[in-house]
Amino acid sequence: MLRHLLRRAAGFAVTFLLISILVFCMMEIVPGDPASAMLGTSATPETLAALRAQMGLDAPAAIRYLRWLGGLMTGSMGLSYTYGVPVGGLILERLAVTLPLTGLAVLLAVGIALPLGVTAAARPGGVADGAATLYAQAGIAVPNFWIGLMLIMVVALGLGWLPAGGFPGWGEPAAALRALLLPALALAIPQSAVLTRVTRASVVEVMNEDFVRTARAKGASVSRALWRHAVPNALVPVITMLGLQISFLIGGAVLVENVFTLPGMGRLAWQALAQRDLIVIQNVVMVFATIVIAVNLGVDLLYTVVDPRLRRRA
Amino acid sequence: MTALAKLPGPVLRLRRGWRPGSAALLIGGILTACLVGIALTSLVWTPEDPARMRILQKLKGPLVSGLLGTDHLGRDVASMLMRGAFNSLTTAFAAVAVGAVLGTLAGVAAAAGSKFDAVLMRICDALFALPPILSAIMLGALLGPGALTAIVAIGVFMIPVFARVTRGAAMQIWAREYIMAARMAGKGTARITVEHVLPNIAGQIIVQVTIQLAMAILTEAGLSFLGLGLPPPAPTWGRMLAESQTYLLQAPHLALAPGLAIAVAVLGLNLLGDGLAARLDPRRRQAS
């Protein structure tokens, strides 16, 4: 078990380092000097040199990379060129929107997909199965930001039930949750479509296993055989898909935050691009990528919890 | 053949008639053919010039001015959708080509027992952790928004997808007896890969290309929505949606038309991929 954990942690560290090198190199070759961008064209060479030294830009690339890596670990990621505030604080502030948004989206996606997929699998070829398949095909095909626009049009502007955009902050938790509900639903629908498909396929497969037949032979009802025996054993592919989906969820968050003007990480990255705030782009991308690989590591470890066979093997 | 003909009718019909994924293949094929047809037609004919602005005709509803109405600048929505199909498809094709070629090369190299197997797969993990939208934001800073940014961002994200699929499929082929026979006959790794491995995994690569094309269309739409795709005046489905945001209640057709176009295009390609998978992918064929 410990060896498995160590191996996974080492894999995480290597991937993290590779991404950090990639991100650093890409931002290095972006034309333009941050110091001259901050001071403008009227700056004298002396002030420019002084600012470059102050920002540590005069050091060799390898040293700057190591400094940045150290800063990432400690949270001191430098100052934003446009906001003039520490990037670490800016990211933390925005994570307070993006993390609850994606968390809520995952909850909604699982909440939709699990009952739908299991009901479809209970009677393959039945009405529920047909409806679930239709939902899965349509849900995968529709872009999340378009669902966001449709929700704004119908639920927010048409019916006036929920806000069309903006975020009041966590000072008012109920209003904050209301503001996150539609964007989370927009993110959740395509994810739930994928999960419905995986859940259905996985449960159908497990329902044909000997132990489910044995449970039925011992007198367990269909629903008990389904929920008590088949579903827990069918969860591994569902969790795998949840882990793989995190990358799409984060990409989706960038779009949906822009549709609903939510002050999250995605909107920060997009605004940073418009303002050419390279230090913000570099750190936001790195934090997002770290979340993706951390979630995948977490999912890997979660297998051992949900599937005892894997625990023994590990 | 004579033996088969003597089999009872229903069994024979079952074997001949039942082809897994037929419906998906048919519907997906028709939708994709329509999409490609519309995209190609837009090069020689559209109802109006998609870039022509007629301010006096702005925000007209469907059938009032043109089949699908006009946008806030009086441009014909149907014509923009048609040319948008071409722009979306070409970006998606180019991105998938980048991902498929580089990913397949990495995958077969890793499966052939290359020393770099572990390194290649680690690099794939790293690339997979960067969602295309984030890569596009970084590339946008480097190259500026445009087709190249979109193609590279989407294509790079697809390298690990193709690498993993190809590596898994190729490893299965490498374990077969006929590969051993080819080795005994003195064929080298590269020759076996070209003559035996690639032809045997081509079906799975084709299936993946179709599915990833659907994914690329969705992602391209997202990038265009954020202003990271083709620059104006080239119409793209994503930018049409971004521009529709201001007129959601006033002119809902501006948001409905491009959204449905994306959905139908992606649905068609997904169904085609599913249908092809049922025919070409041995694992799926066995499962069905």
CATH of B22-37+69-287, one of 3.40.718.10, 1.10.3720.10, 1.10.287.540, 1.10.1370.30: 1.10.3720.10
pLDDT score, position B118: 83
% of chain B residues with pLDDT over 90: 60
Average pLDDT over residues B191-218: 93
Burial of B36 (0-12, 13-18, 19+ CB in 10 A): middle
Average pLDDT over residues A257-263: 96
Could B122 and A18 be called an inter-chain contact, meaning their C-beta atoms sit closer than 8 Å? yes
Which region among A292-306, B96-110, B153-167 has the lowest average model confidence (pLDDT)? A292-306
Give the best residue of A146, A256, A293, A295 to mutate against chain B (max B CB count within 10 A): A146
Q: What is the pLDDT of residues A191-226, one digit of tens each?
A: 999 999 999 999 998 888 888 888 888 888 888 888
A12 in B contact zone (CB under 8 Å): no
Asked whether residue A97 carries a pLDDT value surpassing 50, the answer given is yes
CA A286 to CA A295: how far, in whole Å?
Answer: 14
- B134 touches A254 (CB < 8 A): yes
Give the best residue of B138, B266, B283 to mutate against chain A (max A CB count within 10 A): B138
**CA-based nearest distance A208→chain B, Å:** 13
Cβ neighbours of B139 in A, within 8 Å: 26
Q: Which of B106, B86, B85, B91 is nearest to B136 (CA)?
A: B91
Q: Which of A15, A4, A166 is nearest to B127 (CA)?
A: A15
Select the more confidently predicted residue: A312 or A132. A132
B130 in A contact zone (CB under 8 Å): yes
Asked whether residue B278 carries a pLDDT value surpassing 90, the answer given is no
- A128 touches A200 (CB < 8 A): no
**CB-defined contacts A:B, below 8 A:** 133
Categorize the per-residue pLDDT at B15 as very low, low, confident or very high, splitting at 50, 70 and 90.
very low
Residue of chain B whose Cα is closest to the Cα of A277? B141
Least CB–CB distance from A153: residue in B226, B249, B271 = B249
Asked whether residue A38 carries a pLDDT value surpassing 60, the answer given is yes
pLDDT score, position B12: 38
What is the SS3 assignment for chain B?
CHHHHCCCHHHHHHHHHCCCCHHHHHHHHHHHHHHHHHHHHHHHCCCCCCCCCCHHHCCCCCCCCCCCCECCCCCEHHHHHHHHHHHHHHHHHHHHHHHHHHHHHHHHHHHCCCCCHHHHHHHHHHHHCCCHHHHHHHHHHHHCCCHHHHHHHHHHHHHHHHHHHHHHHHHHHHCCHHHHHHHHCCCCHHHHHHHHHHHHHHHHHHHHHHHHHHHHHHHHHHHHHCCCCCCCCCCCHHHHHHHHHHHCCCCCHHHHHHHHHHHHHHHHHHHHHHHHHHHHCHHHHHHC
pLDDT score, position A52: 82
pLDDT score, position B287: 47
pLDDT score, position B8: 41
pLDDT score, position B10: 40
pLDDT score, position A42: 78
Asked whether residue A231 carries a pLDDT value surpassing 60, the answer given is yes
Asked whether residue B19 carries a pLDDT value surpassing 70, the answer given is no
Select the more confidently predicted residue: A307 or B223. B223
Could A18 and B123 be called an inter-chain contact, meaning their C-beta atoms sit closer than 8 Å? yes
**CA-based nearest distance A256→chain B, Å:** 10
For the ranges A39-43, A269-273, A302-306, the maximum mean pLDDT occurs at A269-273
Select the more confidently predicted residue: A307 or A312. A307
Cβ neighbours of B258 in A, within 8 Å: 146
User: What are the extents of the domains in chain B?
Assistant: 22-37+69-287
Least CB–CB distance from B129: residue in A152, A157, A289 = A289
Instruction: Report pTM.
Output: 0.89
ipTM of the complex: 0.89
